[in-house]
Chain A
Amino acid sequence: MKAAVLVFPGINRERDMARTLRLVSGREPSMVWHADKELPGGTDLVVIPGGFSYGDYLRCGAIAARSPIMDAVRAHATKGGLVLGVCNGFQILCEAGLLPGVLMRNENLRFICRDVYLRVERSDTPFTRGYNAGQVVRVPVAHGEGNYIADGETIAKLEGEGHVLFRYSSPDGMIDPNWNHNGAINAIAGIVNEQGNVLGMMPHPENHVEAAIGPTDGRGLFAGLVEALDRAA
């Protein structure tokens, strides 16, 4: 795995992400400044971490989506390269047009930080191969605008073609409004694009990877990516 972590001004989970990539893959990721125009040679995974790029002023992710480095990310994705956007990264991917839909204010209009349960919908993707379909994982969320929505046609397509990879659920995997903290449509927590190589998700798997600190359910996502990429290499 040769990961590149993008750093926009105001991004603040880049260290968490870099540490997790290092822990799971054993390799140091490159940190790529937003004003750069190219990804480091050989990059096989682009990660857009969480935070408040440009202060989330204007609209979450809107300014970052227009940064110079995003052209390189688009080119990488078009060639089938893997892209993972977490939290603000998901918002940036939506604003950049690499994923459909938009993230609105949480239903209760408050920022929410807590552990949530995610039901993994498919295990046959490079992002979820470390899990079983139907498995429930516990990871934290920390966002004020994670309420996913898109027009009816887009949702039908996402659902029909199996592009929803994670849904908020109860600890035993039931989809239930009481366990959907931000009010996302169909409890959608993470989706992939049509080609299946770009994932955006609101929760932070990178914060649940060390047993000494807490649960380790986030590890599967990164371990799966390492396996997928090392097999391809």
Chain B
Amino acid sequence: MNRNEHRITPELVAEHGLKPDEYDRILRLIGREPSLTELGIFSAMWNEHCSYKSSKVHLRTLPTKSPWVIQGPGENAGVIDIGDGLACVFKMESHNHPSYIEPYQGAATGVGGILRDVFTMGARPIACLNALSFGAPAHPKTRHLVSGVVAGIGGYGNSFGVPTVGGSVRFHQRYDGNCLVNAMAVGIARKDQIFYAAASGVGMPIVYLGSKTGRDGIHGASMASAEFGDDSEGKRPTVQVGDPFSEKLLLEACLEIMQKDCVIAIQDMGAAGLTCSAVEMGAKGDLGVTLDLDKVPCREESMSAYEMMLSESQERMLMVLKPEKEKEAEEIFRKWGLDFAVVGETTPTKRFVVRHGGDVMADLPIKELGDQAPEYKRPFVNAAKPEEIRAESVHAPVGTLEALEKLLEAPDLCSKRWVWEQYDHVILGNTVQRPGGDAAVVRVEGGPKGLALATDVTPRYCEADPVEGGKQAVAECWRNITAVGAKPLAITDNLNFGNPERPEIMGQFVGCVRGIAEACKALDFPVVSGNVSLYNETNGCAILPTPSIGGVGLIDDFKKSATLAFKRTGETILLVGETTGWLGQSLYLREVCGREEGAPPPVDLAEERENGDFVRAVILDGIATAAHDISDGGLLVAIAEMAMASSIGAELSAAPSDIPSHAHWFGEDQARYVITVPAERAEAVLARARAVSVPVWTIGKTGGDALTLAGERPILVTILRKRFESWLPTYMAGEL
């Protein structure tokens, strides 16, 4: 063995992101000093990003099973049964660190990576979503990051040919040094044609497919497992470069050979490239893997074993093929102009052996590299619970309408049209509900079924109270899917936090996971896939805890889905759910009063379920003509959004006497919806709600071209829309 071309010094170990005790563990494991290539392989497999070493013990507490779950976490993506012999395959994943360093390529390859995760399982991608968090608008880097990230997401998805149908965008100074780019992909496969990563059979050919290997993205996964300092710009070479054209070819070629029954196992090369994909295939199948790097198609000359094993060049796949189908598979790949090379084979040894230029460059136990990586129970502390803020104690600095206008043009609430118009959201011809609603609705090819898709999280709630915040993220996603009339089925979670070695950050993580687990259990909304992104902090300042939740729901007939736009004049507006006027952590408190304080609204999961089930039923019965969940900004913002989506105004009754008016209109109590019903059916709906003990009130009627609040001057919907639509384009044009 051509060992120790480099001496392994403590500095070299540290540069590879391995702690001294982890290095000791390596020495004990292999009984000798590792080669440089081996050290690189360990660093790739044992970093936080690939090994989940700080998070695993907590992730195990999440509910992952239900009768409709076909595959939970642990594979390339989660899989659920949607009937008719079809399965929905989906996952969300972060590309935070690379996107901050190089926003266009970072975001683009984030989309590319998650699409690959989905089609690796045999599914044709049908939709993408994303959840983006940027720094304060006033921060000098923010505009550049928004512009690059949005262009990158569009650049990849548009060219690949999948509609980007929804998502969320937020701004906060705590993301100044670390933006978050969470991309979600959703695909459809035949239930009996799902492909997995576990290899089986000894002596099977391992085939390398797709683009050639270059020197890009080396150490990408390790980079994503460390916090940033002042030198983050210098990490640009660790960012990969995306080629959506190759990925589209790879998709078509993969689906074609899957249909021809050539594939035993398949794994995409994402984080830690060839290393991670080969180890996972072997480890999951209880087999060894031998790779011959001389056979790997390279686009640069004289690449070393170390570089090849750590490259994160994009648009590559590793497959175990049925030997008798090798020729057929190769022909298909050649037709699509893609590389195809047999680079190794499965062995009975449970060793991961890498040969290059006649030498053995690595010979390691595969199980320990893969599923037996270190695992930590990091110490954590729970932050003190903030005090509840009583509505009566919050003075309203401005009138209700002025506050409404201010909220509609707040960066977090304003229209994100500038963003989603850069995404092709109509390609494939199945987009029933486009961006801008509660959840996107996409027809399942052939119909009549539809999928409802949404991403949600309220980081300021998670910061104030991680458990309630975790619950709220799941509950809001469930509500958004419910508000279009779909039955929420499962989620993917993308958990973004700071440095887990700090007990207070670990406390946020543990709390949020607990909240997510509670909500998923109570709402029958299991977690089927996910991703953890830690070390999102710069010079000791961590992001707001941001556990993004991506949810999938099913509606039996997509034509029955509800939208938020008011439909007709003279309809009755109903408020579903209890309003207490909860102003703690509300956008009103932050944007209008300039205070980020208090406990977030508590989430009563039983109430969520009862109210949501009621709303879904009246939608599916064709009684509700419009529906919208109430979240950021509260009741009046929700009503304004329904008016702006339709140009029909509304006349609203006064706030009840026991709640201060501004708390009534802008409080963020959970488990609430606004629906409209034809006036003549309102009584029956109220009676139906009483029968199931769901609190519902009549709060006004639709009509006119303005919002009219009792005791206030009317405000034209066109004026509201102008406020709502103008902030983001004006900001991005550099005029703010």
Which A residues lie at the B interface, using CB under 8 A?
9-10, 12-13, 15-16, 19-20, 51-52, 54-57, 110-114, 140, 142, 144, 204, 206-207, 210, 212-214
Contact = CB atoms under 8 A, between A and B. Distances in A.
A144 B431 CA distance: 20
A164 B165 CA distance: 33
A112 B421 contact: yes
Interface string B228-240: 0000000000000
A213 B244 contact: no
Contacts of A54: 245
B429 A55 contact: no
B417 to A, nearest CB: 8
A110 B426 contact: no
Given A16-B428, A51-B161, A52-B159, A212 B558 contact: yes
24 contacts: A10-B248, A20-B429, A51-B159, A52-B159, A52-B161, A52-B245, A54-B245, A55-B159, A55-B246, A56-B245, A57-B245, A110-B151, A111-B151, A111-B158, A111-B422, A112-B422, A113-B420, A142-B424, A204-B426, A207-B426, A207-B429, A212-B432, A212-B559, A213-B431
A7 B421 CA distance: 26
A54 B336 CA distance: 11
A129 B662 CA distance: 57
A52 to B, nearest CB: 4
A20 B244 CA distance: 25
A55 B422 contact: no
Interface string B146-157: 000001001100
B430 A213 contact: yes
B249 interface: yes
Nearest to A54: B245
Contacts of A55: 159, 243-246
Nearest to B417: A114
A51 B428 CA distance: 11
A15 B428 contact: yes
B523 to A, nearest CB: 29
A210 B445 CA distance: 13
Nearest to B557: A212
Nearest to A53: B245
A29 to B, nearest CB: 15
A118 B432 CA distance: 22
A53 B428 CA distance: 16
Counting chain B CB atoms within 10 Å of each CB, which of A54, A57, A112, A113 scores highest? A113
B427 interface: yes
B622 interface: no
A13 B244 contact: no
Contact of A213 (B158, B243, B248, B429): B429
Nearest to A144: B158
B427 A142 contact: yes
B421 A114 contact: yes
B567 to A, nearest CB: 16
Given A10-B248, A212-B558, A113 B421 contact: yes
A110 B559 CA distance: 33
Given A111-B423, A113-B424, 6 more contacts: A10-B249, A16-B429, A111-B155, A113-B420, A113-B421, A212-B558
B425 interface: yes
Complex A-B, nearest 4 residue pairs according to Cβ-Cβ distance, in ascending order:
A12-B161, A55-B245, A142-B424, A52-B159
Nearest to A33: B335
Nearest to B337: A9
B105 to A, nearest CB: 15
Contacts of B160: 12
B422 A113 contact: yes
A142 B158 contact: yes
Interface string B692-730: 000000000000000000000000000000000000000
B443 interface: yes
A110 B422 contact: yes
Given A9-B337, A10-B248, A212-B559, A56 B159 contact: yes
Nearest to A12: B161
Contacts of A52: 158-159, 161, 244-245, 248
Contacts of B425: 113
Nearest to A213: B432
Contacts of B161: 12-13, 51-52
Nearest to A51: B161
Interface in B241-284: 243-246, 248-249
A55 B315 CA distance: 14
Contacts of A204: 426
Contact of A212 (B243, B244, B447): B447
Interface string B405-427: 00000000000000011111111
A144 B443 CA distance: 26
Contact of A210 (B158, B245, B429): B429
Contacts of A112: 421-422
Nearest to A15: B428
Given A111-B154, A112-B421, A113-B422, A12 B558 contact: no
Contacts of B155: 111
Contact of B429 (A51, A57, A144, A206): A206
B144 to A, nearest CB: 15
Contacts of B245: 9-10, 52, 54-57
Contact of B336 (A9, A20, A140, A142): A9
A112 B422 CA distance: 5
Interface in B141-178: 151, 154-155, 158-161
Given A10-B249, A12-B160, A113 B337 contact: no
Nearest to A109: B151
Contacts of B558: 212
Nearest to B155: A111
Counting chain A CB atoms within 10 Å of each CB, which of B243, B336, B426 scores highest? B426
A9 B424 contact: no
A15 B426 CA distance: 13
A140 B426 contact: yes
Contacts of A13: 161, 427
A206 B425 CA distance: 14
A162 to B, nearest CB: 30
B426 A113 contact: yes
B128 to A, nearest CB: 13
Contacts of A10: 159, 245, 248-249
Interface in B425-474: 425-432, 443, 447
A51 to B, nearest CB: 6
Counting chain A CB atoms within 10 Å of each CB, which of B155, B336, B429 scores highest? B429
A10 B246 CA distance: 8
A224 to B, nearest CB: 20
Contacts of A113: 158, 420-426
A9 B154 contact: no
A215 to B, nearest CB: 11
